[in-house]
């Protein structure tokens, strides 16, 4: 009886997995249809836990304003913290403000600065990350946690392996990122040779909105704005 119950449960799981394909397809189709209409954008990542009085919140807001003034829209994960700051800056500057929301049991709720027709909801992280990568002309990465690191390293890996077109990846906040950047250089590169020297060129480490805009401008003097894969 135990074995029979086990097989029944396993068959139910397989059936549910099969039906999930249609939900996943629906998220991709909806995302592609909406995101393909937004025009060139830059994604801003960072912690949902960053408070409005934190200097990085204000910096993210200012960066978003400058990004809009440079002719791009802004995409964030749609939640509070740094995401809210990015959408707020874009909104106040009169630019495109996109939020790719994810359903989570804590932290995540959409912020009020997303354009009403550009707020997308996702159940699957991997679908949401495809939207970030495909429709962003650059990543601006503020201090954050595991989610921020996940998005950062996925983008680096996809560019490194030529699965997507190259675009600027800009880490903002030397005090936060320098330890990680030094570890990548001294341990991953120098000690173990698990990456090549040119892979370090994929990452820019900066502290100001002027540097962010300069990197974007210099890059797109050479490359056309287009979807990344």
Kindly report the average pLDDT of the chain as a whole number. 92
Could you tell me if residue 78 is left (phi over 0), alpha (psi between -120 and 50 degrees) or otherwise beta?
Answer: left
In order of 97, 181, 186, 205, the CA distances from 174 in angstroms are: 26, 9, 17, 6
User: pLDDT tens digit string along 92-111?
Assistant: 999 999 999 998 776 557 89
Yes or no: is domain 2-219 CATH 3.40.50.450? yes
Place of tokens 């502290």: 207
What pLDDT is attached to residue 221? 87
Give percent of the chain above pLDDT 90.
83
Tokens of 25: 């397809």
| Chain centroid, CA 103 distance in Å | 16
Give percent of the chain above pLDDT 70.
91
DSSP 3-state of 103: coil
User: pLDDT tens digit string along 119-172?
Assistant: 999 999 999 999 999 999 999 999 999 999 999 999 999 999 999 999 999 999
What sign has the CA pseudo-torsion 171, 133, 72, 122?
Answer: negative
């Amino acid at each position: 009886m135990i074995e029979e119950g086990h097989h029944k449960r396993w068959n139910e799981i397989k059936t549910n997995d099969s039906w999930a394909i249609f939900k996943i397809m629906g998220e991709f189709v909806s995302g592609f249809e909406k995101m393909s209409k937004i025009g060139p954008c830059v994604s801003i990542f960072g912690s949902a836990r960053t408070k409005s009085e934190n200097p990085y919140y204000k910096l993210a807001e200012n960066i978003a304003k400058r990004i809009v003034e440079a002719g791009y829209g802004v995409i964030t994960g749609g939640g509070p913290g740094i995401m809210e700051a990015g959408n707020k800056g874009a909104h106040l500057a009169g630019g495109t403000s996109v939020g790719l929301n994810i359903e989570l049991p804590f932290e995540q709720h959409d912020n009020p600065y997303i354009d009403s027709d550009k707020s997308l909801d996702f159940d699957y992280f991997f679908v949401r990350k495809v939207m970030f990568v495909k429709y962003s002309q650059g990543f601006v990465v503020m201090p954050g946690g595991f989610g921020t690191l996940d998005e950062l390293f996925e983008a680096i890996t996809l560019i490194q392996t030529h699965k997507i077109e190259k675009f600027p990846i800009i880490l903002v906040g030397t005090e936060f990122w320098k330890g990680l950047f030094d570890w990548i250089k001294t341990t991953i590169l120098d000690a173990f040779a698990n990456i090549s020297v040119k892979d370090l060129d994929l990452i820019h480490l900066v502290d100001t909105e002027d540097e962010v805009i300069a990197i974007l401008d210099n890059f797109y003097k050479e490359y056309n704005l287009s979807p990344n894969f």
